[in-house]
Every structure is written in C-alpha cells, then in structure tokens.
Structure 1
C-alpha cells in the first residue's frame, strides 16, 4: 500500500513538472529576435502614427470651421474616437512586430501588463479607463464648455489620458480623465451650439422693478448675439443690501459667451443711465456682510 502511494505521489510530481516545463517552453520566446530592420520599422511606425495624429487634429479642426456652424461641435466629437483608433492600431502593429503573439504568449503578456499597470501606473491606467468610459458616457467632448473642479473653459483636446481646456484667461489646462471619478463635471452646452449665459445686475431697493425687467429683456432681445428661438428670462432676488437681477439668455454660439456678456452689460448700463437708477451703496453692502458675520 505504501509502495503504491509513493508511486502515485511520484507520478503526480512528475506530471506537474512536465506541465510547468511545457508552459515555460511555450512562453519562453515571447520576445521575437530584435534586428536592426525591426527597430527601423518600429521607429517608422511611431513617426507615421505621430504624423497621422497631427494631420487628424488639424484636418478635423479645419473641417469643423468650414462646414455649417450647427455641425461644428458634432464633427469635433469624432476626434477622440479617431485618435483612439490610431493609437490602438499602432500598439497592435508594434506588438506583432516585436512579440510572438501565440495564444499562451498573449495571456502571459496581458497578465504581465495588467500587473505592471496595477502597481506602477495605477493613476495612468485609471485615467485611460476613465477616458474610454467618457467616450461612451459623453461627460464632455471637444467644443463643450465645462467646469471640472475649479477649472472652467472650452474643451480643445480630448486625449487618451487627459483632456485640455482653454480658460477665459486663455490658459491651457490639462486635466486627467480620472477626475470624473471624484470631481463634479458641469457641462454648459453638452454638444449643443448654444449655452446659457447669466448676467447679473445690482440696484438699490427703491428701484422700479418692472422697468428694469423691461429694459433687460429688450437688451437681450436686440443683441446681435442672442439666439431668439431660446427663452429670455429675468430673475429677481432680494438681498439685504439691494435687489439683484439675473438676465438668463443664450448666445448663438457658445464660444461667444464672454463677448455676449460684455455686450449685454454695456448696452444695459447705457439704458440704465438714462433713468438715473440708484445702485447699492457701499456702506449698505458692508453692513449686510458684517451682520452675517
């Protein structure tokens, strides 16, 4: 009986050893023989991919400015998808060039890459995954006016790892996609050409409310930037120091947000000056703030 058990244990150990040896032989040649020609091909592939990406960026942006205005943002939405296709194709071609991609080798490479990304590039991998998820959820796209955390501006580039937004001060900010896991994302137009603009005005309590409302409505209605098919609304709020008016309206193009706001403010103040409207006094504002404290 003991002899039979020893034979069985030996047979199991030998089988396990043979299996390990066979697996090692199948996967030992994951990396193919590297030659000067392959290195040159790899460099050429990378340069080609870089050139294609640059051409795509310029071509899509040029095309979006040449077609009808209402299609501009829709055309720009294709740019992240096309970039992802080019990058994925480049990675696959390079892997085929330098690796022996048998079934066993693919599993081995996938496992190794997964472990490396999990430990060494956790944030980078998280950003890439968030970028892919963002393509399907459409949290933001090129041309959208978004606020991510404390940063507000127009999305001008959607990369594999990050998004770039241009602020009203003309600063270019790069934000990793994984911010969508932890930060609130506010999208003003969500792919539409128009985005609501809120312009605030402040007056003393004794102001003629109805007259101010009529003036503000008229100012928005006669602006060359206003999208008249969308609503124009005037909201009134009472404050301890005076009365606040919010003029809510839409420009024809979201990119004209600040030009539009300036136009509304300057033309409204010209109209107010004709009626000698009283503005909140400084000491009223300071006393209201001190009372709150």
Structure 2
C-alpha cells in the first residue's frame, strides 16, 4: 500500500513539474517572439527622434511666447496654431518611433487592432452617452437656446445645444461647456423658457417700526416706472417678517418682469437705486443695525 501511494505521489509531482516546464517554455517562447519583433537599432534611433521632438516643441513654445508679447492682436491665433502643431508633432513622432522600433507583420497588426478597438470603445462610451443625452435634450427641451438657466451653481445664457455638449455664457462672460449626459441627472432651472422677458426678484429690508405701506408703494412705483420693466405682466411686492442676526426686519420682495434677460442686472440696479433714494427722502430706514445711523440725515 505504501509503495502504491509513493508511486502516485511521484506521478503527481512529475506531472506538475512537466506542466510547469511547459508553461515556462511557453512564456519563454512568447517573450522570444515579442523580442524578435523589435528592431533594437530602431529603438536607439527612437531616443534621438524623441529628443529632437522635445527640442522642436520647446523652440516653438519660446517662439510663440516672443511673438505673442510683441504682436498681442495675433496672440490667440498663434496659440491655436501652436496647439495644432504640437498635436501634429506628437502624432508624427509616435508613428515614426513605432515604425522604426518594430517589424510590422500580421501579429503586430492584430495587436494594434485589438488595442485600438478597446481604447476607442472606452473613449466612445462617454461620447455615446452624451450623444444620446443630446437627442433627449433636443426632444424633451428642458431649455432652449437663449434661455437664462441655473445649472450646478452656474448662471447664464445657453448659446449652443450640440449633440455632445451645451455651451453657456455666464454673466461674467465666461463660456462653460457642459456634457449633455449631465442634464439627465441634475436639476436645471430656466428663468424665461424661450421668452425674452423674465421675472426678477429683488428683496428690500426695513425696520419693524417703519411705514410699511408707504415703503411698499414706493417699491411698486419704482419698479413700474423703470425703463426696463415689462408692463404687460404684473408687478408684485410681497411683505414678510425676517429674522437675521438676532434682530427682526420687514422684508419687502419685489417681483417684476424685465423686458429682456439681457437687462436683468441693469433692471435690478435701476430699481434698487430708485427705491433707496425714495426711502431716504421719506425717512424710511433699514433695521436697527450699524448702517442705520449713517443713513439718517
């Protein structure tokens, strides 16, 4: 019985050793096949190509910086050309390095094809999601071009709706590019939804002991007489109590429509200046805070 067990153990060890030897030989064969595809002289030459590309890019960067400082009006054009040139150098250097470093055959082409297919698949995943989301945005129309919207803390006008992204111009004249798939999961608020006019909400605060009715009438008159008002829609002034920093105040909220979203901030400024001027003239003061004493005549 012991002899039989010893024989079986010896056979198992022999089989395992044979399998390990076969795996090792297979790995060695794969390594040898891969190394046979490499041109070692080309690899050495590739280092010079990379070095020359790096020197060329550094030279062009310095050249663009020099010309941009001397010819400011052409700075944007030069920077765009520089970006295209850098991309061309990167692609050309990469292609040349690959061509001189490897012997091209069916195995290399298969490897390249598989790598490209996987890379393109991962790269196009988000692009395909944005494309489908773009179609959804165009069909569902949560906003339109020209709308003034709020999205993820950004506030501005929609200038383009594309198949991949939406571009927004903020009130500080910044251009924001938002992928379309963002709009499928986030809340978007449109202030005018295709119309030129839009409601503006402007708060005012006065003390609890002030003439509330007079203050309300003054705000109503200031909003109604503004050059930016859209009179076909009503002007509403709401009154409420507000508690802030351990003091009470009367909050008067003016809700009026501006004739065009372009004039939103001018509309708010115009009404605010008119109301504050009338408040001073009629001795209507803000809540009992430090600034109140400076406003008294």
With structure 2 as the length reference, what TM-score do the two structures score? 0.54
Query: Does 2:140 match 1:152?
Result: no
1:62 counterpart residue number: none
Structure 2 residue matching 1:120: 3-state secondary structure: helix
Aligned residue-pair number: 172
1:205 corresponds to 2:208: yes
> Which residue number corresponds to residue 162 of structure 1?
165
Do 1:140 and 1:187's aligned partners in 2 also have CA atoms closer than 8 Å? yes
Corresponding residue number in structure 2 for 1:248: 255
**2:182 maps to 1:179:** yes
How much does 1:124 deviate?
A: 2.0
**Separation in structure 2 between the aligned mates of residue 193 and residue 147 of structure 1, nearest angstrom:** 16
Q: Which residue of 1 aligns with 2:232?
A: 229
Contact 1:197 1:261 in 2 (8 A): yes
Contact 2:170–2:176 under 8 Å retained in 1: yes
**Cα distance 1:246–1:129, how it changes in 2: closer, same or farther (>3 A)?**
same
Further displaced range: 120-129 or 189-198: 120-129
Give 1:269's match in structure 2, choosing from 254, 263, 276: 276
The correspondence of residues 94-113 of structure 1 with structure 2, limited to 5 A, is none
Root mean square deviation, CA, Å:
2.2
TM-score, with length taken from structure 1: 0.55
Aligned to 1:178, the other structure's residue is in SS state: helix
Greater RCO (Cα-Cα under 8 Å, separation 6 or more): 1
- Alignment partner, residue 20 of structure 2: none
Task: Give runs of aligned pairs for residues 1-293 of structure 1, distance below 5 A.
Answer: 119-240=122-243, 241=247, 242-282=249-289
Q: Could you list the runs of 5+ residues in structure 2 that have no partner in the other structure?
A: 1-116, 292-297
Query: Deviations along 1:190-226, whole A, 9 cap, x unmatched?
Result: 1011110011111111121111111111111111111
Decide whether aligned partners of structure 1 residues 233 and 117 sit closer, same or farther in structure 2, where only a CA change above 3 A counts. Answer: farther
| CA distance in structure 1 between the aligned counterparts of 2:198 and 2:128, rounded to whole angstroms | 33
> Structure 1: which 5+ runs fail to align?
1-113, 285-293
Q: Go from structure 1 to structure 2 and tell me whether the alpha carbon gap of 1:215 and 1:117 turns closer, same or farther (over 3 Å shift).
A: farther
SS in 2 for 1:250: strand
Shift of 1:116: 7.5
Q: Whose radius of gyration is greater, 1 or 2?
A: 2
Distance 1:134 1:115, change over 3 A: farther
Distance 1:180 1:251, change over 3 A: same
Q: Which residue of 1 aligns with 2:19?
A: none
